Structure 1
Amino acid sequence: MTRIGLSTVSVYPESTAHAFAYAAVLGYDAVEVMVGVDGLSQQIEAVKQLSEHHAMPVSAIHAPCLLFTQRVWGTEPWGKLERSAEMARAVGARTVVVHPPFRWQRDYAAGFVAGVERMEKETGLFFAVENMYPWRASSRRAVEMYLPSRDPSAETYANATIDLSHAAIAGDDVVSMASRLGSRLRHVHLTDGTPGAKDEHLVPGRGTTGAAGFLQHLAATGFDGEIVVEINTRKAVSKADREADLRESLEFAREHLRVPTP
């Protein structure tokens, strides 16, 4: 049965520790740790203790490859992936989520596809490369910022991640992308968005990506990877409001995947 996890970034500005607590209380199946959101997320022993304390498995480690985590665990990109793999093995996660290189990381990008394949063979983990999007200064002007491609289905990766908010910005059809990837689709960031320049990470069902139909497609095609709710709750005015968004997202996933509530 497909697990439905919670990304620790979904509770920001609350901490990684709060994310584990929300996941346990609301009935999520697992947690994805976004490295770099807070100091706890960078510490293997802290993550292990949180997982054990809440009886909440870790499904994935998201490598610190965002703009605002460029200096987390150093600045050498392969070193970041190696440390992410070390954490994943230590906490029992099978997947490392990674973004494709920025276009200014030319040396990294030149060997990225082969390097990811090498790391999967060496570690036995899934390195699920995530779909990204053009950066937009306006509705008419877009700049491609990722190499070798922002679309993982255009490359030969063995494992990939689809993020629905990223697809909304790019104008990508997520069902078509999933069909192109086939069994290579290992991981999903369940969220939502609308066309434009902003990476909104809405509660699924509140955007235009067709999140319900996408989940139904996954169920119909036998998807056996991980679903992780990755939403933006920064504007929540209270803990109750944040909790309501997290609960709504979980219920949305279970409804459209037809996963029974434990």
Structure 2
Amino acid sequence: MLPPPHPALHVPDTKVALSTASVYPSTTETAFELAARLGYDGVEVMVWNDPVSQDVDALRRLSDAYGVPILAVHAPCLLITQRVWGSDPWTKLVRARRAAERLGADTVVVHPPFRWQRQYAKEFVAGVNRMAGETDVRFAVENMYPWRYRDREVLAYAPGWDVTDEEYRHFTVDLSHAATSRTDAFELVDRMGDRLAHVHLADGSGSGKDEHLIPGRGKQPCAQLLERLARTGFQGHVVLEVNTRKSGGAEEREADLAEALAFTRLHLATVRPGS
């Protein structure tokens, strides 16, 4: 059992969750096991090619078995998940919402459409806002980035990768994506304002690759953002969505995820006014 916090510290109620993507290419169950063992407050389920991630009943069993709540569902909108839950993008969002409702999650994370999804992109802003009005689950649209190859830049998302250009009800900020797009993270959060509902915490060096480094290992203001969230009474969840594929094995991956959790909890603790 952890000792109580020092009276001079304010520790907010913000829940810190582990994305199941953080253990890729291991299984969804591995993420639940690690989240339970390391003391995460919950998980965000990335719906992808692992059949368990697509099965609401299987996910509920894992949540119950490990005592780890599911706080968010990430809809299958990656390139590698184009055929997960069918090929119609609206069907994917409907199924993600239903999964979140059945699992007790309060957030669905969604990416803006790819440019080649023309009709979906044309209807996306109005459609996702309409769906958000039909449920208590928040559809939190995530900031993305331009794709780069050598000296070329490809705008792969529509209406655009900078989601603050549109009137979405809720946003997810991803600091690795901010690094890749070379966007100032604090300016991005300022533009999101009180519509910021969800945080994907990961670091990046600004190399042009979407790195998802352990917080503190790149150049993003991960610590400063966490401290700001704590001071301003942020009501959403902070989700560690990091890349552990280069970890040297299961033990090193677990150590990396423990480090990420410790970093996050440390910087969410702030000094009480007047202390």
Match of 1:56 in 2: 68
Q: Which residue of 1 aligns with 2:59?
A: 47
Larger displacement relative to structure 2 (90-99 or 173-182): 173-182
Indicate the residue corresponding to 1:13 in structure 2.
25
Equivalent residue, structure 1, for 2:128: 116
Q: How many residues align?
A: 258
Q: What residue is the counterpart of 1:177 in the other structure? A: 188
Could you say if the C-alpha distance between residues 189 and 37 of structure 1 is closer, same or farther in structure 2, counting changes exceeding 3 Å? farther
State the match for 2:213 in structure 1: 202
Q: Which one-letter code corresponds to 1:64 in the other structure? A: P
Distance 2:232 2:159 in 1: 28
Partner of 2:95: 83
Written as runs of structure 1 = structure 2, the 5 A alignment for 1:68-217 is 68-138=80-150, 140-217=151-228
- With over 3 angstroms needed to count, the CA separation of the structure-2 counterparts of 1:175 and 1:37, relative to structure 1, is farther
SS at structure 1 position matched to 2:34: helix
Which residue of structure 2 lines up, in the alignment, with residue 230 of structure 1? 241
Q: Bigger shift: 209-218 or 83-92?
A: 209-218
SS of 1:243's equivalent in the other structure is helix
Q: Could you tell me the TM-score, scaled by structure 1's length?
A: 0.96
Cα 1:197–1:133 change in 2 (3 A) is same
Distance 1:172 1:224 in 2: 24
The 10-residue stretch of structure 1 (110-119 or 140-149) with the greater mean CA deviation from structure 2: 140-149
Letter in 1 for 2:268: L
**What's the secondary structure of 1:142's corresponding residue?**
strand
Deviations 1:43-95 (A, max 9, x none): 00000001111111111000000000001011100000001111111110010
Contact 2:17 2:240 (C-alpha < 8 Å) held by counterparts: yes
Deviations 1:163-193 (A, max 9, x none): 1111101001111111111110000100011
User: Equivalent pairs: percent with the same residue?
Assistant: 55
The superposition leaves residues 220-239 of structure 1 with CA deviations (integer Å, 9 ceiling, x where unpaired) of 22211110000000112221
Selected match of 1:31 from 22, 40, 43 = 43
Which structure: larger Rg?
Answer: 2
Match of 1:218 in 2: 229
Does the 8 Å CA contact 1:12/1:234 hold for their aligned counterparts?
Answer: yes
Tell me which amino acid in the other structure corresponds to 1:208. Answer: K
**Structure 1: 5+ residue runs without aligned partners?**
none
Cα distance in 2 for residues equivalent to 1:196 and 1:143: 16
Conservation of the 8 A alpha-carbon contact between 2:49 and 2:84: no
Instruction: Indicate how the Cα distance of structure 1 residues 257 and 48 shifts in structure 2: closer, same or farther if over 3 A, else same.
Output: same
Q: CA deviation at 1:124?
A: 2.2
Q: Is the 8 A contact 1:9 1:37 kept in 2?
A: no
Alpha-carbon RMSD: 1.0
Tell me the secondary structure at the aligned position of residue 116 of structure 2.
coil
Displacement of 1:37 after TM fit? 4.2
Relative to the length of structure 2, the TM-score reads: 0.92
